[in-house]
Structure 1
Amino acid sequence: MSKKIRWGILSTAKIGRTQVIPAIQQCQYAEVTGIASGDKSKARQTAADLGIPKVYNDYQELLSATDIDAVYIPLPNHLHVDYTLQALAAGKHVLCEKPIGLNAADAQRLIDGAAQYPHLKLMEAFMYRFHPQWEKAKEIINAGLLGEVKHVQSIFSYSNMDGNNIRNRVDTGGGALMDIGCYCVSFPRYVFNAEPVRVMGLVHLDPEFKTDSLTSGLLDFGNGHTATLTCSTQLEPYQRINIIGSKGRLEIELPCNAHNDKPNRMFLQRDRVIEEIEIPVANQYALQVDAFSKAILDDAPVPTPLSDALGNMRVIDALFESGEMGEWVRL
Structure 2
Amino acid sequence: MMREIRFGIIGCGLMGREFASAAARWLHLTDTRAKPRIVAVCDTNPALMGWYAEHLGPMQQTTDYRELLANPEVDAVYCAVPHVLHAELYPAILAAGKHLLGEKPFGMDAAQNATIMAAIAAHPNLIVRCSSEMPFYPGAQRVIDFVKSGSIGPILEVEAAFLHSSDINPQKPLNWKRMASVNGEYGCMGDLGMHVLHVPLRLGWRPETVTASLVKRVPTRPDGKGGTLPCDTWDNATITATVPHADGAFPMVLKTWRIAPGEANTWSIRVLGMNGSAYFSTKQPRQWQFMRYTAGGPQAWATEDLGYTPLFPAITGGIFEFGFTDAIQQMWAAFIDELAGGDAHGFPCASPQEASAHHAVLTAALQAGKTGQSVKVAYA
TM-score, length-scaled by structure 1 = 0.89
Deviation at 1:15, TM superposition (A): 1.8
Matched letter for residue 182 of structure 1? M
Say if 2:287 and 2:307, in contact at 8 Å, map to a contact too: no
Show the counterpart of 2:92: 86
Which residue is 1:330 aligned to?
376
1:91-133: CA deviation from partner (whole Å, max 9, x where unpaired)? 2111001111112222111111222222211111122333433
Q: List gaps (5 residues or longer) in structure 2.
A: 27-31, 221-230, 293-297, 311-325
Does the 8 A contact of 1:149 with 1:244 survive in 2? yes
Q: Which residue of 1 aligns with 2:302?
A: 275
Deviation at residue 196 of structure 1 after TM alignment: 1.0
Match of 1:180 in 2: 192
Residue 322 of structure 1 deviates from its aligned partner by 0.5
Are 1:153 and 1:243, in contact at CA under 8 Å, matched by a contact in 2? yes
**1:265 paired residue among 280, 284, 287:** 287
Contact 2:8 2:39 in 1 (8 A): yes
Q: Distance in 1 between matches of 2:260 and 2:135?
A: 25
Tell me which structure has the larger Cα radius of gyration. 2
Q: How does 1:65-214 map to 2 (within 5 A)?
A: 65-158=71-164, 159-160=166-167, 161=170, 162-173=172-183, 175-191=187-203, 193-205=204-216, 206-208=218-220, 209-214=231-236
Measured after TM superposition, the shift of residue 43 of structure 1 is: 0.4
For the structure 1 residues 294 and 186, does the alpha-carbon distance in structure 2 shift closer, same or farther, using more than 3 Å as the test? closer
Q: How far apart, CA to CA, are the structure 1 residues paired with 2:140 and 2:109?
A: 26
Task: Write the deviation string for residues 164-186 of structure 1: whole angstroms up to 9, x where unpaired.
Answer: 22221112216211112332233
The Cα RMSD (Å) is: 2.3
Letter in 2 for 1:67: E
1:11–1:43 contact (8 Å) kept in structure 2: no
Match of 1:226 in 2: 251
Distance 2:306 2:61 in 1: 39
**Contact 1:321/1:329 (CA < 8 Å) preserved in 2?**
yes
* Deviation at residue 248 of structure 1 after TM alignment: 2.6
> Is the 1:44–1:55 Cα contact (8 Å) retained in structure 2?
no
Q: Tell me: CA distance 1:76–1:204, structure 2 relative to 1, closer, same or farther (3 Å).
A: same
Tell me if the contact between 1:188 and 1:227 (Cα under 8 Å) persists in the aligned partners: no
Number of residue pairs aligned between Structure 1 and Structure 2: 322
Q: In the aligned structure 2, how far is the partner of 1:52 from the partner of 1:310? A: 37
Q: Per the alignment, in what secondary structure is the counterpart of residue 56 of structure 1? A: strand
CA separation of 1:57/1:213 partners in 2, compared to 1, >3 Å: closer, same or farther? same
The answer to whether 1:25 aligns with 2:71 is no
Q: In the TM superposition, what is the alpha-carbon distance from 1:300 to its structure 2 partner?
A: 7.3
Q: Provide closer, same or farther for how the CA distance between residues 47 and 265 of structure 1 changes in structure 2, counting only shifts above 3 A.
A: farther
CA distance in 2, matches of 1:169, 1:304: 26
The one-letter amino acid of 2:211's match is: M
- How far the C-alpha of 1:216 sits from its partner, in A, is 0.9
Tell whether the 8 Å contact from 1:15 to 1:74 is kept in structure 2 after alignment: yes
Q: Report the alpha carbon displacement of residue 163 of structure 1 after superposing the two structures with TM.
A: 4.2
**Pair 1:285–1:212, CA change in 2 (3 A):** same
Cα distance in 1 for partners of 2:353, 2:287 equals 31
Report deviation, 1:290.
2.3
Q: What is the identity, as a one-letter code, of the residue corresponding to 1:98? A: K
Counterparts of 2:112 and 2:57 in 1: how far apart (Å)?
32
8 A Cα contact 1:141 1:149, kept in partner: no
TM-score computed with the length of structure 2 as normaliser? 0.78
The 8 Å contact of residues 100 and 124 in structure 1, kept in 2 or not, is answered as yes
Is the aligned partner of 1:295 residue 2:305?
A: no
2-structure distance, mates of 1:264, 1:20? 23
Q: Distance in 1 between matches of 2:91 and 2:106?
A: 12
CA 1:300 to 1:146, structure 2 compared with 1: closer, same or farther past 3 Å?
Answer: closer
Superposition deviation, residue 274 in structure 1: 2.1
CA contact (8 A) 1:43 1:55 kept: no
- Contact 1:163–1:169, Cα closer than 8 Å, also in 2: no
Give the fraction of aligned pairs with identical amino acids, expressed as a percent.
21
Aligned counterpart, 1:249? 277
What SS does structure 1 have at the residue aligned with 2:49? Answer: helix
The AA in structure 2 aligned to 1:83 is L
